Amino acid sequence: DGVSKTYYNNPMWPGEAHSLKVENVLYKEKSKYQEVLVFESSAYGKVLVLDGIVQLTDKDEFVYQEMIAHLPLCSILSPKNVLVVGGGDGGVLREISRHGSVERIDICEIDQMVIDVSKRFFPDLAIGFEDPRVRLHVGDAVEFLRNTPEGMYDAIIVDSSDPVGPAQELVEKPFFETIAKALRPGGVLCNMAESMWLHTHLIQDMISICRQTFKGSVHYAWTNVPTYPSGVIGFLLCSTDGPPVNFLNPINPIEKVKGALKFRRELRFYNSEMHTAVFALPSFLKREVPLL
């Protein structure tokens, strides 16, 4: 049938599909860049899907958003200028807003429809846009970073989709080079870096590019998100030449971070013990990706 043909042929994970029972389709439109779908599931609350790929669900979104934001921001002292690439749902903004030291949060999301849909269906995530430190730029991050002044950011968080649609260029070397330039010396990048069960080659490629591009340190971390394919998602943490960054032990522990806004609810996943734990890697991954 049409459904299995479509879903079992996703080039990111051929031969497998994960399913959630749909209670109710709430939104389905084609934007300029992708198909945007929101449905109510019976087990995970509302689900945001882009081009057939689950981006987040009400029930487990906090794992990914907390990790991708706090791993880099807790690895440097008093981060001030932060850039988010992608992340149009606002969840990563919500997490960054917990850091009282941050003065400016730029976000570059390509698809206005993702932002609008999040504001309408995912208010707990879109609340991130209400932080007055946030400046929204709607456009392609490749272009945005080409025009970013050198050394502008303390941290850049790449919360982008899988490299099959508008995010294709976001895993290529020229993009990482513009990121390294946009970071200050000793600045940090945290990049969504796929699953060790599905994408060891992609991980290997990204790490080898990043080792050439970032002269500080390069580390891989991973965590579990039940609704992402294989239930696992990774992060690549890199720092630029300059004051050394030791990602493995948070120098700016979240437990001591002074918050800025009162609408935040408690953290549900990230803490300093998790921070250290997620850098431990299984033996098969160390063998298959020798650069780790």
Could you tell me the two tokens for 256?
A: 């001591």
Question: Considering only residues 39-78, where is the footprint of ligand AAT by CB under 6 A?
Answer: 50, 53, 55-56
Q: Which of 47, 159, 171, 206 binds ligand AAT (CB under 6 A)?
A: 159
How far apart, in whole angstroms, are the C-alpha atoms of residue 92 and residue 245? 22
With CB under 6 A as the contact rule, which of the stretches 71-79, 153-161, 207-215, 272-280 interacts with ligand AAT?
Answer: 153-161
> Residue 221 pairs with which residues in a beta bridge?
235
Pairing of strands 81-86, 153-159: parallel
CB of 269 to ligand AAT, least distance (A): 14
Q: Does 114 bind ligand AAT (CB under 6 A)?
A: yes
Give 56 or 207: the residue with its C-beta nearer to ligand AAT.
56
Candidates 86-94, 129-137, 209-217, 243-251: pick the segment binding ligand AAT (CB under 6 A).
86-94
What gap in Å lies between CA 169 and CA 141, rounded to an integer? 9
Q: Is 163 in the site for ligand AAT (CB under 6 A)?
A: no
**Residue 140 interacts with ligand AAT (CB under 6 A): yes or no:** yes
CA distance 49 to 41: 12
Give the separation between CA 187 and CA 176, rounded to whole angstroms: 13
Q: Catalytic pick from 60, 89, 154, 159?
A: 159
Among 44, 214, 228, 270, binds ligand AAT (CB under 6 A): 228
Among 72, 79, 88, 234, binds ligand AAT (CB under 6 A): 88
**Rounded distance, CA 72 to CA 255, Å?**
15
* Smallest distance from ligand AAT to CB 28, Å: 16
Residue located via tokens 């272009």:
143
By CB under 6 A, is residue 191 in contact with ligand AAT? no
Name the residue with the smallest CB distance to ligand AAT.
86
- Residue 106 binds to ligand AAT (criterion: CB under 6 A): no
Please report whether residue 111 would count as binding ligand AAT according to CB under 6 A: yes
Q: Name the minimum Å distance from CB 271 to ligand AAT.
A: 20
CB of 68 to ligand AAT, least distance (A): 8
Q: Minimum CB separation from ligand AAT for residue 230, in Å? A: 9
Asked if 167 interacts with ligand AAT (CB under 6 A), we say yes
To the query of whether residue 159 is one of the catalytic residues in this protein, the response is: yes
* CA–CA gap between residue 35 and residue 214 (Å, rounded): 34
CB of 29 or CB of 241, closer to ligand AAT: 29
Separation in Å, CA 257 to CA 63, 78, 139, 260, 264: 19, 9, 32, 9, 13
Residue number with CB closer to ligand AAT (86 or 250) = 86
Residues in the site for ligand AAT, rule: CB under 6 A? 50, 53, 55-56, 85-89, 91, 108-111, 114, 140-142, 159-162, 166-167, 170, 192, 228, 233
Catalytic positions are 159
